[in-house]
Structure 1
Amino acid sequence: MTAFPMLELEPDDIYEIELCSGEHRRWRYLGPDSLASSWWRDEETGSEFNEASLMYAWRIVRRHENPATGNYSGASTNGCAVQAKRG
């Protein structure tokens, strides 16, 4: 089994996500809320959700380069997480 380093998530950075179906999505990390739940926005659909609301397996493939912050990483990590509206 290959171990991947944990990727430090940066608010407003965009990450390439691989869903358990093999589909790849671009999600923007919005950061934690007051209860430390991590929030994301799907860049294609505009849906906002937190990790606790996801009912399928997913993993971060890589961080997309963000010209505003200069952040970039090719590291991978895994996550398990249902879709709820951020409010």
Structure 2
Amino acid sequence: AELLKPFKDQECPKYMGFLENLLKNNKTGYFVGNEVTLADIFVYDFISRLDSRDSSLVNFENFSHVKEHQNKIGSLPRIKAYLESRKPSEM
């Protein structure tokens, strides 16, 4: 836990802020363009894995656009079906 403190307190908020600004500036709910891209799926997966490891690592309190993005991508029918059917894996 102590090793993750700098990441949790400094790095994670810094990068979440960067992602938040990208989503705000694009105004479509996606990182690039007006439809889901690999960038959206990658960010969704990365943040989901962090959050599932330790929910205290990712604080969405100040990052409403990122939270909305997580919900949006996680609700896409094919993504949702995959997540419901995949086997648990450690990474």
Determine if the TM-score, normalized by the shorter chain, exceeds 0.5.
no
* TM-score, structure 2 as length reference: 0.24
* TM-score, structure 1 as length reference: 0.24
More helix by share: 2
